[in-house]
Structures are given as C-alpha cells and as structure tokens.
C-alpha cells in the first residue's frame, strides 16, 4: 500500500484509494483516519491483531457497510457501493471471514446467489442451466472435490470456502478481497488460493489479502500494511519483511518468536481418558488412545485424516459404533456425559458449534457456570455469575464494548476467547481443543499457549488437535499423527520433535 501523499507510480495504475476513513460502532472506534491506495498488478497484505479493523475496512470497500466519515475513489470515480452485489458487479469481490454460503441450497445456487436472473426463463429460474454453468466453472478451476449439484450443507468448511472463492472469481473482479480465508483451508485448499492470487497479479488485477499466518503473508504479498486499534501503523515492502518487526508493529511491543514451551516437564502416568478401539461411521476404525493427567497430547495430520472426528467422538458428539470412550471409568456417549465428567470441547467450527452467536457474551460464558454459580438448590447467584463472567473477560482480555453485547459484534479472535472463557471458567479438567487458535493473531495465541501450559501444570489434560505442526511441536508432550482414520506415528517431546520427522507420516 502507498500511504497518501507518497504516491509515486502512474495515476492510471491506481485502482482504489481509501481516504481518511473513520468507522464507529457506538462507542467502539473501529477505524481512525485510514488512508491507502491500491495499484493494479499487486497483492497487498493487511495484517493486525484481532479487532484491529481489518474486516471493517474491507467490508466498507466491498459495499457491506458505509464508512462513518471519509471517502473512496475507485477507477477514478467516487466509490460508494450501496450493497455487496453492486460492488461485485463493478469488479470488487470479497471472500468474507465468516461463512458466506447458505447451507440448504446447492453449490450452483450459492455461486449465483443474487444473480438468478441470469438464468431466468419466463417466470422461472432454469436451475439445470445454472447447475451446468456452475459445473463448467468448477471444471475450469480443476475442482473435483464436489459437484455443482451438491447440497452445500453436505460440504465441509474448506469446500464451502472454495465455493466462495469461485463465486467471486466468476465476476472477474479487478479487486479481490480475501478476509481470513486460509485458516479454513488445508494445505490443498491453500495451494488453490495461492494460485488464484498469482493469477490475478499476472492479469494486472489487484488483491487485498488478510491472514493471521505471517509466513503466508510474507510469501505471497508484495507489501504488508499493519493495522493496530483502527490506525495504520505502517507499510513494509517485501525486502523489509522481518517477522519480529512485523509482530512488534502489530502489538506495539516486542514479541519474541519463542512463545512456545521450552521445558521438558513430564506428565503423570495416571490415565484420565481412554479411547478403546473406537469406530465411527465415517472416519475412525478401531482408534485407541490414552490421555494422562497433566499431559498435552497433540493430534495432527492432513485435514481429512480423521483428527477432527477423534475430538468429536471423544466428547460424545459423534456416535461411536464400536469400542468406547472412558473418563475415569465412566463411559462417555453424549456431550452431557462428557460435561458431567468435567470435559470441555472447543469446536473447529466455532460459530456453528461452540457459540450462541445472537446471545450475549455474558450468556455464553455464564452457560457453563451453572454448577459453580449455584447459590442454593437450583437458584443461580447473580453476584457469583457476574463475577464469573467478569473474571474471564479480564483474564483473557476479551476486547468488547460490554459483556451484554451480542457475541456477533466481536472479532474472530475475541469470539474464540469467549469460547475459551466459557470452558476455562467451568473448571473442566479434560479439554479437547480442535484448532483452538484458528484465525487468531499472535498476541492472543501467545496468551492461549501460556494458558495451556498453566493448565498442564495444574494437572489438567489437553488434547490439542491442530493443522499447524509448529504449534504441535511447540506445545505438546506427545504428538500423534493420523492418516486415513488411523494413527500413523507417535512421537514424544523428550525425543525431540521436528516438522520433517512428522510430515512424512501425514502424506
């Protein structure tokens, strides 16, 4: 990005200028005097902690909401898109951070959502033609994981993100905005996304790319602009990239890369959870594991290796057809059993499975505290409950305008903190965490990692399911690698864990 006043390239290369934009949400100032310009033929990175304003500025450009102050110029004209559809038709497409597909319709219907008239035949929509067109589009991108006629609700998060990407590309955008999409993608999906970025750059189009993965940003962006608390802190050109400098710009203080554990502290021999040859309908076939008191056990692999199914089966969400899950001698066959046995679960699909989005922050956190906040018989003490919630907001530094706001108003990382808050406060001592740091910036990550370690030291046991090998290596006492629903490798922290040593067993 070029900050205002410093533009040096030919004016006709400039595609979009954002000038002195402000955005307020009630008392929250999400953007403060934000200015930058985007030129054709470049991939721009926008980076910053959760709540720094990245999604807000992107959504203003893409017509999802207006700015409170300031203006924009796009293709040399004032830019005030009234809706996302208008922006899309004028060449600005955005892949949104939260899910942008509708579950109960087909892939084709999602791709052409809002543009059904393209296929209108008298009073009707010619769905066959629509499906055919969508299938041609999928074929042209070499996408064979799903078909245009598939129902979207049958597809996983990664496939739904790919639908959104294809949907944006159909309109041949001059500016593509990608907001936190990579976290939903496995290696394969990411490669697809990167190929799209490269292609747009070559076609003299422009991309605004937002991600929490610093390595990915440094590799694929021509320059990086850092936002902090709604203000642009600075822009670095590719040759100036230096991870510690960027992190420092993001959080405003020095953060060393080594926020992982350096100890070799052992855990107890006591088994707290045991999966004994469990088989599920889809992925797992006679899968066994033992988790010990004070242990952080990592599970890794490619996204469809079955690791997410393990988490769901252990917590009683996914039906175990054969074998059993036992916690301190009790069989777990439903989430109710799991909770009664002091288990907690953080889902990979935070928004659909772990949070009541329209409920308030207070209601979400308090939901796990019924037992501890009980005052007498079944009556909950309001005072205790307030303290319970306040304590979590404070402990995890949840950035919100107030605890009675809907969870929906929070940024992704802060939502994840609410999910955590609700379980940490409940005093669960077996935690099954499925990609808990997904879409979360370094500052919050570092504090979560610290929390995991403190939990281990207080004899809690953690199963950490993660698609990020450095995280597994950096935090776990033991790592299991899965492939095709089975364990392909097991390695201990004390033996020394390396990415190379593990990756071979994933593929």
Do residues 176 and 198 lie in contact, with contact meaning Cβ atoms separated by under 8 Å?
no
Task: Give the residue from 114, 111, 103, 31 showing the smallest Cα distance to 65.
Answer: 31
Write the DSSP assignment of 390-420 as a string of letters: HHHHHHTT---S-TTSBGGGS-HHHHHHHHH
With CB under 5 to 8 Å by kind, the binding choice for 396 among Mg ion, ligand ADP, none is: none
Number of residues that bind ligand ADP (CB under 6 A): 16
CA gyration radius, the chain: 24
303 lies in the site for ligand ADP, by CB under 6 A: no
411 lies in the site for ligand ADP, by CB under 6 A: yes
Do residues 168 and 197 lie in contact, with contact meaning Cβ atoms separated by under 8 Å?
no
Alpha-carbon dihedral 206, 212, 215, 216, rounded to 10 degrees: -40
Binding site for Mg ion (CB under 5 A): 54-55, 97
30 lies in the site for ligand ADP, by CB under 6 A: yes
What is the chain's length? 507
106 lies in the site for ligand ADP, by CB under 6 A: no
Nearer to ligand ADP by C-beta: 308 or 399? 399
Task: Give the residue from 161, 41, 168 showing the smallest Cα distance to 92.
Answer: 168
Write the DSSP assignment of 293-329 as a string of letters: TT-EEEEE--TTSSHHHHHHHHTTSSPEEEEEEEETT
Cβ of residue 56: shortest distance to ligand ADP, in angstroms? Answer: 3
53 lies in the site for ligand ADP, by CB under 6 A: yes
Pick from 2, 37, 50, 416: which binds ligand ADP (CB under 6 A)?
50
With CB under 5 to 8 Å by kind, the binding choice for 279 among ligand ADP, Mg ion, none is: none
Pick from 410, 419, 442, 461: which binds ligand ADP (CB under 6 A)?
410
Nearer to ligand ADP by C-beta: 189 or 439? 439
With CB under 5 to 8 Å by kind, the binding choice for 52 among Mg ion, ligand ADP, none is: ligand ADP
Cβ of residue 38: shortest distance to ligand ADP, in angstroms? Answer: 18
Do residues 380 and 374 lie in contact, with contact meaning Cβ atoms separated by under 8 Å?
yes
Do residues 92 and 173 lie in contact, with contact meaning Cβ atoms separated by under 8 Å?
yes
443 lies in the site for ligand ADP, by CB under 6 A: no
Q: Report how far apart, in Å, the C-alpha atoms of 75 and of each of 17, 45, 171, 175, 480 are.
A: 9, 20, 17, 11, 52
**Distance separating alpha carbons of residues 474 and 479, to the nearest angstrom:** 10
220 lies in the site for ligand ADP, by CB under 6 A: no
Q: Taken in order 60, 65, 67, 72, is the CA torsion positive or negative?
A: positive
Nearer to ligand ADP by C-beta: 65 or 336? 65
Pick from 56, 303, 354, 416: which binds ligand ADP (CB under 6 A)?
56
Pick from 4, 25, 80, 470: which binds ligand ADP (CB under 6 A)?
25
With CB under 5 to 8 Å by kind, the binding choice for 50 among ligand ADP, Mg ion, none is: ligand ADP
Nearer to Mg ion by C-beta: 55 or 437? 55
68 lies in the site for ligand ADP, by CB under 6 A: no
Pick from 409, 447, 451, 468: which binds ligand ADP (CB under 6 A)?
409
Give the list of residues 6+ apart from residue 253 with CB closer than 8 angstroms, or none. Answer: none
Task: Give the residue from 107, 161, 105, 158 showing the smallest Cα distance to 136.
Answer: 107
Q: Which range of residues in 24-32, 101-109, 185-193, 251-259 is near ligand ADP by CB under 6 A?
A: 24-32
With CB under 5 to 8 Å by kind, the binding choice for 135 among Mg ion, ligand ADP, none is: none
28 lies in the site for ligand ADP, by CB under 6 A: yes
Do residues 183 and 212 lie in contact, with contact meaning Cβ atoms separated by under 8 Å?
yes
205 lies in the site for ligand ADP, by CB under 6 A: no
With CB under 5 to 8 Å by kind, the binding choice for 48 among Mg ion, ligand ADP, none is: ligand ADP
Nearer to Mg ion by C-beta: 54 or 493? 54
Map tokens 């659909």 to a residue. 352
Helices 127-140 & 157-170 angle (0-180, nearest 10)? 100
Pick from 36, 37, 43, 48: which binds ligand ADP (CB under 6 A)?
48
Pick from 52, 181, 341, 347: which binds ligand ADP (CB under 6 A)?
52
Site residues for ligand ADP per CB under 6 A: 25, 28, 30, 48, 50-56, 399, 409-412
């Amino acid at each position: 990005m070029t900050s205002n006043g410093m533009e040096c390239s030919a004016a006709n290369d400039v595609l979009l200028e954002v000038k002195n934009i402000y955005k307020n949400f009630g008392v929250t100032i999400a953007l403060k005097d934000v200015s930058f310009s985007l030129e054709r033929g470049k991939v721009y990175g926008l980076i910053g902690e959760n709540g720094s304003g990245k999604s807000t500025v992107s959504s203003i450009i893409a017509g999802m909401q207006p700015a409170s102050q300031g203006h924009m110029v796009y293709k040399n004209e004032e830019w005030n898109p009234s809706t996302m559809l208008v922006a899309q038709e004028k060449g600005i497409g955005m892949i949104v951070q939260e899910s942008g597909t509708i579950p109960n319709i087909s892939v084709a219907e999602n791709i052409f959502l809002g543009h059904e008239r393209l296929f209108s035949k008298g009073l009707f929509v010619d769905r066959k033609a629509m499906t055919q067109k969508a299938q041609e589009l999928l074929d042209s991108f070499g996408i064979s994981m799903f078909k245009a006629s598939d129902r979207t609700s049958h597809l996983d998060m990664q496939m739904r993100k790919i639908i959104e990407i294809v949907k944006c590309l159909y309109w041949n955008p001059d500016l593509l905005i990608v907001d936190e999409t990579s976290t939903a993608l496995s290696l394969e999906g990411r490669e697809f996304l990167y190929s799209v970025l490269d292609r747009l750059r070559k076609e003299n189009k422009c991309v605004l790319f937002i991600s929490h993965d610093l390595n990915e940003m440094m590799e694929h962006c021509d320059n990086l602009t850092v936002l902090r608390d709604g203000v642009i802190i600075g822009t670095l050109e590719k040759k100036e990239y230096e991870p510690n400098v960027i992190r420092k710009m993001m959080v405003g203080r020095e953060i060393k890369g080594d926020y992982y554990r350096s100890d070799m502290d052992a855990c107890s021999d006591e088994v707290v959870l045991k999966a004994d040859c469990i088989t599920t309908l889809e992925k797992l076939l006679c899968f066994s594991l033992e988790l010990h008191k004070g242990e952080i056990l990592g599970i890794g692999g490619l996204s469809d290796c079955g690791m997410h199914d393990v988490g769901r089966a252990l917590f009683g969400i996914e039906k175990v057809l054969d074998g059993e899950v036992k916690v301190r001698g009790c069989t777990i066959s439903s989430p109710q059993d799991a909770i009664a046995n002091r288990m907690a679960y953080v889902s990979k699909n935070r928004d659909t499975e772990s949070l009541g989005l329209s409920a308030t922050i207070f209601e979400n956190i308090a939901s796990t505290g019924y037992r501890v906040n009980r005052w007498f018989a079944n009556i909950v003490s309001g005072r205790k409950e307030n303290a319970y919630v306040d304590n979590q907001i404070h402990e995890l530094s949840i950035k919100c305008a107030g605890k009675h706001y809907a969870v929906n108003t929070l940024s992704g990382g802060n939502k994840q903190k609410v999910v955590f808050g609700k379980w940490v406060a409940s005093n669960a001592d077996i935690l099954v965490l499925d990609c808990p740091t997904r879409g979360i910036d370094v500052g919050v990550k570092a504090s979560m990692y610290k929390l995991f370690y403190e939990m281990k030291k207080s004899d809690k046991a953690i199963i950490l399911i993660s698609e990020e090998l450095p995280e597994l290596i950096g935090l776990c006492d033991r790592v299991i690698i899965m492939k095709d629903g089975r364990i392909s490798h097991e390695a201990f922290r004390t033996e020394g864990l390396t990415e190379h040593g593990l990756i071979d067993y994933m593929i």
